[in-house]
Amino acid sequence: MKIRPAEKSDADLVISLYQQFDNYLRGLTPNVSLEERLFDAERYRADGFGDNPAFWGLVAEDGDEAVGCLLYYFGYDSERASRTMHLLDLYVAQEHRGHGVGLACMERVKAICIKSNVEEIAWSVYKPNRAAHEFYKRLGAKVDDDADYMYLEVEKFNV
C-alpha cells in the first residue's frame, strides 16, 4: 500500500471515492435525506490546486487501485495560539477497511502536522457513522461535547 499526495489528475478517482462515501453514509440512515454533494471533478481541480488551494489531499493506493482518500486544510486556534489541521473527509473503500489504510493515512497526516508545526487536528463525524467514531477513538481522539458544529451560508447571512 502507498499513501501519496493527491494530484490534480486524480480528480476522477477522488470523486469516484466520494460517490462511494456518499452511498455508504446514505446506507447508514436510509430514512434520512442527505444533501446532494456539489463537489465534483471540476471543483476538485479548481479548488484544490493553483495559487490559493482550499484543501490538500492524500490518495491511498493498493497496487494500481485507489482505495482511499483524505482531504484536509490548515487553520488556526486563537484560544490555544496554535496551528490546526482540519480533516474534511477520510474515506476508505468498504472492501479495504480493516487492512490499515485509514491508519496509514492518519500516520501521514501526523507527519504533515509535525512538519507544519500543527498542534491539533479537528474534524466532524456523521453521528450514525459509529465505525468512524470507533476508529478515531482508537487513535486517541476525543469528542468535544462543549461545542456544536455550526455553519452559515454566506448568501443567507442576515446583516
pLDDT by residue for the chain (159 residues), tens only, comes to: 999 999 999 999 999 999 999 989 888 887 777 778 899 999 999 999 999 999 999 999 999 899 999 999 999 999 999 999 999 999 999 999 999 999 999 999 999 999 999 999 999 999 899 999 999 999 999 999 998 888 888 988 887
The pLDDT, as a whole number, for residue 149 is 86
Task: Enumerate residues 6+ apart whose C-beta is below 8 A from 44.
Answer: 10, 11, 14, 15
The pLDDT, as a whole number, for residue 31 is 76
Is residue 121 within 8 Å of 109, Cβ to Cβ?
yes
Report if pTM > 0.85: yes
Supply angle C-alpha 65, 69, 72, rounded to 5: 160
Is residue 44 within 8 Å of 11, Cβ to Cβ?
yes
* CA nearest to 13, candidates 63, 73, 60: 60
Q: How many residues does the chain have?
A: 159
